[in-house]
């Protein structure tokens, strides 16, 4: 899937992956997609919750080895 920016949040624990995602999304234009890599187990709950609360669209989440890859479209 095409993305406009990338954030490597591996090695970071809750709440840092979501906080860094929020900050990185601020720099994007509406409709652009951010690709995020996380390995914090809490991200499985935190990322979908963040998207639901902020209005950003969670396009996908998939496992990539020990990490999760998230694609989020800015509202």
- Which residues are known to be catalytic? 14
Task: Report residue 9 as tokens.
Answer: 């949040």
CA distance 36 to 65: 14
- The alpha helices in 2-74, defined as continuous H runs, are 16-26, 43-54
């Amino acid at each position: 899937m095409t993305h406009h920016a990338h954030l490597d949040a591996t090695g970071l624990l809750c709440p840092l992956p979501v906080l860094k995602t929020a900050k990185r999304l601020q720099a994007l234009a509406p409709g652009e997609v951010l690709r995020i890599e996380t390995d914090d187990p809490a991200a499985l709950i935190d990322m979908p919750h963040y998207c639901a609360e902020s209005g950003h669209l969670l396009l996908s989440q998939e496992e990539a080895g020990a990490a999760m890859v998230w694609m989020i479209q800015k509202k």
